Amino acid sequence: MIIENFAEGKSLLHTTDPRIKICLCVPYIFVIALSNSLYTAAAAVLIALSLIIISGLRLGNVLKSIRVFFWFILLLWVVLPFSIPGDQIIRLGPLRASSQGVLKALAISLKSTAIVFFIIAFLGTTKVFSLVHAMSHFHMPKKLLYLTFLSYRYIHVIYMEYVKLRDAMRIRGFRPKTNIHTYKSIGYLIGMLLIRSYERSERIYNAMLCRGFHGRFYLFEHFAVTGRDMVFLSIMAATLMGIGWMEWITKIM
């Protein structure tokens, strides 16, 4: 399982304080998600794309990692033009595609692409552990943070446990097909995975108690905001205001 393939790097985005990145990412994605103008959406895609380029990530790798996302965009393009009444542009038997529908599909595609790019540029360039640490500075509930931290910590471990069980089944000649036997076997596999996870969690908790756990995790690394971070924050905040202004202008036009 590939995890955090974008978090390694030395670019501006990789080295910016994670707290600043969260402070930028959240307003950015919500402003874009709620915008209505096609121009705003297009501008947002361009800004997000430039951030990806600045972060030194290979665009090919980024697109490859979000390929599932494009199936969803395709579904929108297949359904929406025929769902919105308006000026007819294409006719397929009883179905009529409207230009309004095409514009709506275009707007949503641009908006969701921009949001996905922004999340990769701001959060994908940060290690998940650093993000959890950064969230603790925003006064998130302690239990939620510990839960996030431990879940993430054990995903890979449990995945390897799954690989072990899956390989054991393959060695014994299991070939998944569309039948009850397959579904039952996969059910038993998941059941065993849950039992092993349950037993592992008991060992983890005992190990934590042995090391003196009393409801608190200690941090050894601390973040520091640099002058460069503040410059980056100001520029990106100004850009966001520009996007907001653009949305406002196109609305009253």
By CB under 8 A, what part of segment 82-121 binds other proteins? Answer: 82-84, 101, 104, 108, 111-112, 114-116, 119-120
Q: Six-digit token pair at 182?
A: 């397959």
Distance of CA 2 to the CA centre of its chain: 14
Q: Six-digit token pair at 119?
A: 């999340």
Closest to other proteins by CB, 5 or 226: 5
Query: Residue 242 Cβ, how far from other proteins at the closest point, in Å?
Result: 19
Query: Residue 167 Cβ, how far from other proteins at the closest point, in Å?
Result: 13
Closest to other proteins by CB, 60 or 227: 60
Cα 229 to Cα 212: distance, rounded to the nearest angstrom: 37
Secondary structure of residue 84 in the 3-state scheme:
coil
Closest to other proteins by CB, 144 or 230: 144
- Location of structure tokens 């520091």: 224
Cα 223 to Cα 228: distance, rounded to the nearest angstrom: 14
Query: Which residue in 131, 169, 237, 240 binds other proteins (CB under 8 A)?
Result: 131
**DSSP character at residue 212:** T
Secondary structure of residue 96 in the 3-state scheme:
strand
Using CB under 8 A as the binding rule, whether residue 22 contacts other proteins is answered as no
Query: Residue 122 Cβ, how far from other proteins at the closest point, in Å?
Result: 10
CA–CA distances in Å: residue 210 to residues 26, 135, 154, 199, 203: 39, 28, 19, 17, 10
Name which of residues 132 to 161 contact other proteins (CB under 8 A): 141, 143-144, 146-155, 157-159, 161
Closest to other proteins by CB, 98 or 233: 98
What is the chain's length? Answer: 253
Using CB under 8 A, which of the segments 24-32, 45-53, 224-232, 237-245 binds other proteins?
24-32
Query: Residue 205 Cβ, how far from other proteins at the closest point, in Å?
Result: 4
Closest to other proteins by CB, 1 or 224: 1
Residue 42 is inside which H or E element, if any?
helix 38-54
Segments in 120-226 forming alpha helices (H) = 128-136, 142-171, 180-210
Q: N- to C-terminal Cα distance for the chain?
A: 49
String of contacts with other proteins for each residue 188-217, x by CB under 8 A: xxxxxxxx-xxxxxx-xx--x------x--
Query: Residue 231 Cβ, how far from other proteins at the closest point, in Å?
Result: 25
Size of the site for other proteins (CB under 8 A): 84
Q: Six-digit token pair at 143?
A: 């239990």
Cα 119 to Cα 62: distance, rounded to the nearest angstrom: 11
Name which of residues 160 to 189 contact other proteins (CB under 8 A): 161-162, 176-178, 180, 182-189
Query: Residue 211 Cβ, how far from other proteins at the closest point, in Å?
Result: 13
Name which of residues 32 to 51 contact other proteins (CB under 8 A): 32-34
